[in-house]
Amino acid sequence: MGSGLLDEDTAAALPEGRRLEGRGVPWRERLFQLGLWASLAVGVVFLASLLVYVVVEAWPRLDLRILTHFPDIIDPSNAGAQSAVMGTIWVIAFTALYCLPTGILTAIYLEEYADPHRWYNRVVEINIQNLAAVPSIVYGILGLGIIARGMGFGQTVLTASLTLSLLVLPTVIIAAREAIRAVPQSIREASLALGATRWQTIRRQVLPAAVPGMATGSILALSRAIGEAAPLLLLGGLAFITFNPSGLDSPFTVLPIQIFNWISQSRAEFISLASAAIVVLLVILLAMNSLAIWLRNHYSHRW
């Protein structure tokens, strides 16, 4: 935190005249601060103009048809993105089913059991940090080469959700570890001192206290998966799909891919269609993020 010896509040408390006389703040200082402020402002302005642009472009098509109708290449003026919305729900539900248990169990192992000085635990640790930064399209290659063709699952909901769960697994692990680490050591020691075993301590003391943090992190990780398009391009997500998935073995498309598809079309109707789908996608993400923030604020422990 940036509070110096003479921090903002003390400085403000001094009457104007008592500041060091006549010096004021040199212009270089002001310019520097202005520059810093401007670099944040660029991000804010960009974000605002992006949101305004998307909503304005989407306006003519921003009605329920985007949810109730299916994609239509011939008649875009009446098309919707229902198959993509349902595809997103299917794929993300199974992604959550695969990656949340795996990620949370890994986090418990690394925080509560693993000896960080052992080489194999260090390998796991560095491996996770690296995986978190591996380009998403490389996961697409993994999905294509191993899951879709090697294991023969094909271009299905199952392949897509397995691939995405491997993609967001490092994010889930890192978030869950932070939540576990935030539980004070004294809680564990008290429990162990009362005769609880290691696992009893984890299950009855550590995990209940860490659940809100884990939930927040998991939701944020899944919202990353929802917006992800690149790996699914390799897994058949771009196929022209005008029906909702019916099972794990069903072909699929998802919202970001449907958006990519419509952006690539040249006719103007597709642009408002793409924008409307972007609005739907952003609203879903916003809802998930709000839920995460609400969980963080309502259930977070103060020790």
The interface with another protein within residues 178-237 (CB under 8 A) comprises 197-199, 220, 223-224, 226-230, 233-234, 236
- Least distance (Å) from another protein to the CB of residue 118? 11
Residues in 234-263 at the binding interface with another protein, rule: CB under 8 A: 234, 236, 238, 256, 259-260, 263
The first and second tokens of residue 170, run together, are 């490092």
Residues 6 or more apart whose CB falls under 8 angstroms from that of 74 comprise none
- Least distance (Å) from another protein to the CB of residue 199? 5
Distance CA 274, CA 259 (A): 5
Residues in 63-92 at the binding interface with another protein, rule: CB under 8 A: none
Handedness of CA 110, 113, 118, 120 (dihedral sign): negative
Closest among 276, 220, 206 to 99, alpha carbons compared: 220
64, 133, 193, 194: residue in contact with another protein (rule CB under 8 A): 133
The first and second tokens of residue 267, run together, are 């006719």
Q: Which is nearer to another protein, 67 or 134 (CB)?
A: 134
The CA distances from residue 40 to 33, 46, 51, 163, in Å, are: 11, 10, 17, 35
Residues in 90-119 at the binding interface with another protein, rule: CB under 8 A: 101-102, 105-106, 108-110, 112-114
| Residue 126 binding another protein, by CB under 8 A | yes
55, 62, 89, 124: residue in contact with another protein (rule CB under 8 A): 124
| Residue 139 binding another protein, by CB under 8 A | yes
Residues 6 or more apart whose CB falls under 8 angstroms from that of 91 comprise 157, 160, 161, 164, 232, 252, 254
What backbone torsions phi and psi does residue 177 show, to the nearest 5 degrees? -60, -45
DSSP helix, strand, coil percent of the chain (3-state; round to 5): 75, 0, 25
72, 136, 269, 301: residue in contact with another protein (rule CB under 8 A): 136
| Residue 176 binding another protein, by CB under 8 A | no
| Residue 166 binding another protein, by CB under 8 A | yes
Task: Find the part of the chain contacting another protein (CB under 8 A) among 80-88, 133-141, 209-217, 241-249.
Answer: 133-141
Closest among 81, 94, 68 to 240, alpha carbons compared: 81
| Residue 174 binding another protein, by CB under 8 A | no
Q: Which is nearer to another protein, 45 or 190 (CB)?
A: 45
Closest among 206, 218, 125, 210 to 171, alpha carbons compared: 218
- Least distance (Å) from another protein to the CB of residue 69? 21
| Residue 270 binding another protein, by CB under 8 A | no
What backbone torsions phi and psi does residue 69 show, to the nearest 5 degrees? -100, 165
| Residue 44 binding another protein, by CB under 8 A | yes
How many residues lie near another protein (CB under 8 A)? 93
Give the rounded distance of the alpha carbon of 40 from its chain centre: 22
Distance CA 95, CA 32 (A): 46
160, 164, 241, 281: residue in contact with another protein (rule CB under 8 A): 281
| Residue 294 binding another protein, by CB under 8 A | no
| Residue 46 binding another protein, by CB under 8 A | yes
| Residue 13 binding another protein, by CB under 8 A | no
The first and second tokens of residue 89, run together, are 């729900």
- Least distance (Å) from another protein to the CB of residue 65? 20
| Residue 265 binding another protein, by CB under 8 A | no
